[in-house]
A and B are shown apart, each in its own frame.
Chain A
């Protein structure tokens, strides 16, 4: 750990062309375990074009060899390096250092919603437990020739949600569980509400998940404040294209007497 103003430890790769815009940045990184921890301050060299994960790696290589950080692809596709950078849930590998002023302190903390294991690594098993509870894709019987047929326009909507890389930033930023741990039992979180929406919109799927969405997965807890959409690194419109359409489908099922009556007297055929 270095004090602000001290010479930094760790070489800046200057290559053949000078320092290429390198500078020393002040980083505050949360270090600790479930029993406790604190923000520690480091001065770390930064090269032009780097992202926060690069700097965390340099920190790990030069000053804090036991710093725990989860990462994998460094390309925004594996969803491993989720953290909070200056209080905002982000992928460290997609957060460019050029978004910060050179004299700005960059604070990196673990995801707040999940139990911490060590330093920047959290236990995200809550998400896998919820994933296991979602009723699986159940397609209708195949056509007589043994094929399943559907048009691209029929699966455009579900395919948007398939872009999810399961980085859990939406789960982390959702205030329903971020600020209220006790809601975790009743609320599946935005990632799994769009999983329910994806399956409910699928042209081949035959399971009605609307009751379960409301009763078992806590759709009603969502007050559509859209933070999940704001933090999604894949740009999925979770709220507008997933959760709100799912809410409307639940209204069809549970709160709209006209739609309910229409389905009872067979004026509405299932689509």
Chain B
């Protein structure tokens, strides 16, 4: 290797977000020299997430049009208050009428996605611009990452994962109930049944491809050869994990679409096409 010049301890730099490059680095004033459309991906991420958050917030507070026999919106399931429409889940308590039943439960899927390793990348890049794209300087003067509160809370991801699995069970149960007709008789299938089934399947794919799941099923083991079943499980989850980003987006749109479909049915805008 070429003989290196003595270097400083690097204590004096404000970073590129401040007054220019650090001492002794190559003097390049431009924030980035990238010539491609590096801003496009963070922009699309912002648009997609804002659209979802806007829609889901409206629907969560709307407290109406979330049930159309035999379908229930995934935003309102499990519906656990006595104010709920339909009877898909035991009604556990009576809350204030002005609080939508969705508010009690959305913290789990919200927390799961907020602490998800993929979504963290997505929103750190697109909302926090930290960094907006690779080799594009971030605008912040200081950076401490996930070393202190509140971002230290990202380490709770595995608990949201476990709770999220319970939600997947409930939503799968809802999809099974969608094989009943309005009178409660089994042997019905409509487009809504397919929508709820697809939604549950996508949520399972998203959950099982999660990095915490990968760690829990076998990632924490060092000697796979002594745990062949866990190694197989880890291998399967690793395959899913490679597509975690795709599952994150598809399941996000899937859950919004499932809710929108129930909304259209509940408002009478469309009627459910029946297969049998």
Question: Which residues of A are at the interface with B, using a C-beta cutoff of 8 A?
Answer: 30, 32, 34, 36-39, 70, 84, 86-89, 104, 107, 109-110, 112-117, 121-126, 150-151, 153-154, 173, 175-176, 178-185, 200-203, 218, 220-227, 230-231, 240, 244-245, 247-252, 254-256, 271
When the two chains form their complex, are residues B155 and A223 in contact, meaning their CB atoms are under 8 A apart?
Answer: no
Number of A-B contacts (CB under 8 A): 194
Q: Is the CB of B35 within 8 A of A109?
A: no
Please state if A249 and B21 are interface contacts (CB–CB under 8 Å).
no
Closest Cβ of chain B to A138, distance in Å, is 14
User: Taking A88-B34, A248-B220 as contacts, is the C-beta distance between A126 and B7 under 8 angstroms?
Assistant: yes
Docked CA distance A32–B134 (Å): 25
Min C-beta distance of A37 to chain B, whole Å: 6
Q: Which of B11, B134, B142 contacts A230 (CB 8 A)?
A: B134
Interface of A is mostly: mixed
CA distance A89 to B133 in the complex (A): 12
- Interface size grouping (class) on chain B: 35 or more
Contacts of B239 in A (CB 8 A): none
Question: Nearest Cβ in chain B — how far from A189, in angstroms?
Answer: 13
Q: Specify which chain A residues have a CB less than 8 angstroms from the CB of B4 in the assembled complex.
A: 117, 123-125
Are B7 and A226 in contact, with the CB atoms below 8 A? no
Using a CB–CB cutoff of 8 Å, the interface residues on chain B facing chain A are 2, 4-5, 7-13, 15-17, 21-28, 32-36, 117, 120-121, 124-125, 130-131, 134-138, 140, 142-147, 151-152, 155-158, 211-212, 214-215, 219-227, 231, 241-242
**Complex formed: what's the CA distance from A178 to B17 in Å?**
11
- Please report the C-alpha to C-alpha distance between residue A123 and residue B242 in the assembled complex, in whole angstroms: 35
Most buried by A among B16, B17, B134, B227: B134
Q: Give 19 CB contacts A-B under 8 Å.
A: A32-B26, A84-B33, A86-B33, A87-B33, A87-B135, A88-B34, A109-B26, A112-B25, A112-B28, A153-B224, A154-B222, A179-B15, A179-B140, A181-B15, A185-B10, A224-B120, A224-B124, A251-B158, A271-B227
3 A-B pairs with the lowest CB-CB distances in the bound complex, closest first? A181-B13, A87-B33, A87-B34
Partner pick for B226 among A121, A180, A181, A271, CB 8 A cutoff: A271
User: Are B137 and A179 in contact, with the CB atoms below 8 A?
Assistant: yes
Task: For B27, list chain A residues within 8 Å (CB).
Answer: 32, 36-38
Q: Which residues of A contact B17 (CB under 8 A)?
A: 179
Q: Which residues of the partner chain A approach B120 to less than 8 Å between Cβ atoms?
A: 223-224
Q: Which residues of B contact A244 (CB under 8 A)?
A: 117, 211
* Inter-chain contact A115/B7, CB cutoff 8 Å: yes
